[in-house]
Amino acid sequence: MSPMFVPGPVDVAPDVAQQQTRPMLPHRGKEFEAIFQQASEKARQLFYTQHRVFLMTNSGSGAHEASVRNLAKTSVLSCVNGSFSKRFYDVALANGKQTDKVEAPLGQPVLPEMVAEALQKKHYELITVVHNETSTGVMNPIQEIAAVVQQISPDTLIAVDAVSSLAGVKVEMDAWGIDVLFTSSQKCLALPPGLALCAVNERALARAKEVPFRGWYFDFLLLEKHRLNDSTPMTPAMPLIYALDYQLDRIFAEGLENRFARHSAMAQRCQDWAMQKGWGLFAAEGYRSQTLTVIANPPEFDCAEFNKQIVPRGMRLANGYGDLKGKTFRIAHMGEIHPSDIEKLLAALDEYWASKH
């Protein structure tokens, strides 16, 4: 298999992909319901939650929409420090919510004191935070942010996008007091795209009851009603659920702690390598992602040119995202990527760089 060092869609192990070819079943029949129930029960371990995990047939961005539609009548505070957290903000605006933002410069984290300041000025029903900002390689301190929210404004709900970190980094939903926590299938879970996993606690369901016009497709109360019968309101992405059920067993066989350690070891290796070369790490020290490393392009480094050399060798690197395209490049080390793959990539990078000098 050729390692793709891109932050989604990532490589899918052949035996995982194979699960998708299992025969279709009636989605409201006992046989499928048993698989659905088993997969969603198992998924709770990834979220460190006693609450439910909805398996939603949409990509992660659908969970942005679900969060703002279900958890706020009007007022939302969005933490913004990159393209994906900006998207969460844009989704809140697009759904007609009065949305303010707490902004940090690209490469810097959103800090708890910035959130505290905003909460002291005004009351919000919901705060949105991205855990791992995939555009900059910053990991926001969500545990500390959740703590200040609980302290200053205990009835403000917290929705966390952990799309590019969950299943690669430990995020403890219940212990940290997160109300809605979600990811998509095509990042650290190493599944094909098309499924979102969204954990929702009781406080969040209670809030949804008070919010009119939650829409239909993303209505948490409707999803919950069907989940209680091991089902979904609409036809689910059955092949992805087969693959998820199987992949969760593979993940637990590796062991969650081992999996998290593998991701952080690869992050450390990439950071050390870049620093040793004198190349700048884009994310601020102390807040660097465990699932991808974003490196400032040295002069003359051309990601597209490098990819031309390595794609025939079965590898691929990610260019910078959004405004950072051409200014940074990104090494994603998530899902099925192992330290030996990283060594191959770094050797190729060394070789490319030596050939230019």
Ligand X SMILES: *Cc1c(COP(=O)(O)O)cnc(C)c1O
Minimum distance of ligand X from residue 162's CB (angstroms): 8
Minimum distance of ligand X from residue 58's CB (angstroms): 8
Interaction site with ligand X (CB under 6 A): 7-8, 59-61, 84, 130, 132, 134, 161, 163-164, 184
Q: Which residue lies nearer to ligand X by CB, 178 or 205?
A: 178
Minimum distance of ligand X from residue 114's CB (angstroms): 19
Minimum distance of ligand X from residue 184's CB (angstroms): 3
Phi, psi for 294 (deg, rounded to 5): -105, 125
Q: What are the start-end ranges of the H helices in the chain?
A: 14-18, 30-47, 61-71, 83-94, 112-121, 142-152, 173-176, 202-210, 220-227, 238-254, 256-277, 303-310, 339-356
Question: Encoding tokens for residue 308?
Answer: 């031309």
Q: Which residue lies nearer to ligand X by CB, 104 or 116?
A: 104
Q: Which residue lies nearer to ligand X by CB, 32 or 333?
A: 333
CA 181 vs CA 137, 156, 293: distances in Å:
19, 15, 23
Q: Which residue lies nearer to ligand X by CB, 60 or 107?
A: 60
Q: Which residue lies nearer to ligand X by CB, 10 or 116?
A: 10
Q: Which residue lies nearer to ligand X by CB, 116 or 171?
A: 171
In angstroms, the CA 172 to CA 272 distance is: 28
Minimum distance of ligand X from residue 325's CB (angstroms): 15
Q: For residue 112, count other CB atoms closer than 10 A to its CB.
A: 20
Evaluate whether 130 touches 84 at the Cβ level (below 8 Å): yes
Q: Which amino acid is at 348?
A: A
Greatest Cα pair distance in the chain = 64
Angle (nearest 5°) at CA 338 between 291 and 144: 25
Minimum distance of ligand X from residue 85's CB (angstroms): 8
What does the DSSP 8-state code read for residue 323?
A: G
Contact residues for 49 (Cβ-Cβ < 8 A; gap 6+): 173, 174, 181, 199, 201
Q: Which residue lies nearer to ligand X by CB, 60 or 192?
A: 60
Minimum distance of ligand X from residue 118's CB (angstroms): 21
